[in-house]
């Protein structure tokens, strides 16, 4: 996705809500845009993310989404100054949870381009993506227990289903700052590279996704997430299987294999 590098692009020094761009056909980049405040998320940012996710869910030509941050950190989590209002009910207490769940529910495959550290709720925002590519020197910290906060249910479920119970307990209960190499060992990161190699590695993931058949990728993404959450429904999975079996994409894929050429999938 090197056609647009949000970490080095000129920006308004004040920053603002997340920005959505379409740098090439089938590709989208969503950039957290408060670099002076380490891309912490305000209520208006969460609402903007929800609007972007709703828009992206309807983009039938979209094949891959990259989520990243501007500046030296991916995201410092939810704005702590707004946390009290959410907890006492003066604002929507499930706003953050619903925003992250909407990201996970996107049909299109997603890549978190972790250009720096991830803290608090940002750890779950990145975990809701299908893949995470991080940079050497980055760190993760989940301080919920140090704040007296019980994390929301879908986030706990995501941690356990994707990282395992032991890793989830370590990150939530101990509240340790975990370095990049250990995040790779825990399975939080799918790849760890230098800052100079970040865009090339993200592009490698994106290119692999763009080479796949959209119906198969989207259907299997949904099915795998459901299985991981314990929401396995055989009839629903069989319907997705049948849709792919009857698709033009499968016919094209088989023809391309026989003819030893790259397939040209249409998503139908």
Domain range annotation of the chain: 16-210, 214-259
Contacts of 84 (CB under 8 A, 6+ apart): none
- Give per-residue pLDDT as tens, 73-108: 999 999 877 766 555 454 688 999 999 999 999 999
What is the pLDDT, as a whole number, of residue 14?
Answer: 66
Mean pLDDT of 115-140: 97
Residue 197: burial class (beta carbons within 10 Å; 0-12, 13-18, 19+): middle
- Check whether 170 has a pLDDT greater than 70: yes
pLDDT band at 185 (very low <50, low <70, confident <90, very high): very high
What is the pLDDT, as a whole number, of residue 3?
Answer: 42
What percentage of residues in the chain have a pLDDT greater than 90? Answer: 86
CB atoms within 10 A of CB 263: 18
Q: What is the DSSP letter of 81?
A: G
- Give per-residue pLDDT as tens, 39-82: 999 999 999 999 999 999 999 999 999 999 999 999 999 987 77
Domain 16-210 has CATH 3.30.43.10: no
Q: Check if the beta carbon of residue 129 is closer than 8 Å to that of residue 110.
A: yes
């Amino acid at each position: 996705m090197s056609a647009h590098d949000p970490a080095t692009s000129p920006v308004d020094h004040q920053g603002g809500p997340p920005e959505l761009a379409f740098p090439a056909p089938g590709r989208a980049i969503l950039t957290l845009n408060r670099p002076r405040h380490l891309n912490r998320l305000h209520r208006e940012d969460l609402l903007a993310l929800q609007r972007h996710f709703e828009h992206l869910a309807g983009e039938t030509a979209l094949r891959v989404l990259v989520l990243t941050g501007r500046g030296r950190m991916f995201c410092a989590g939810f704005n702590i100054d707004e946390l009290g209002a959410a907890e006492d009910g003066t604002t929507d207490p499930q706003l953050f949870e619903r925003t992250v769940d909407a990201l996970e529910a996107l049909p299109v495959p997603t890549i978190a381009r972790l250009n720096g550290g991830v803290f608090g709720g940002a750890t779950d925002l990145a975990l809701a993506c299908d893949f995470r590519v991080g940079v050497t020197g980055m760190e993760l910290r989940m301080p919920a227990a140090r704040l007296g906060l019980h994390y929301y249910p879908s986030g706990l479920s995501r941690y356990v289903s994707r990282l395992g119970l032991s890793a989830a307990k370590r990150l939530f209960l101990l509240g340790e700052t975990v370095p990049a190499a250990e995040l790779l060992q825990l399975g939080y990161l799918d790849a760890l590279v230098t800052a100079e190699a970040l865009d090339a590695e993200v592009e490698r993931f994106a290119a692999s996704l763009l080479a796949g058949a959209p119906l198969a990728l989207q259907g299997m993404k949904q099915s795998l997430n459901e299985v991981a959450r314990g929401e396995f429904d055989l009839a629903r999975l069989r319907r997705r299987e049948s849709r792919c079996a009857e698709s033009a994409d499968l016919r094209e894929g088989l023809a391309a294999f026989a003819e030893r050429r790259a397939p040209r999938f249409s998503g139908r």
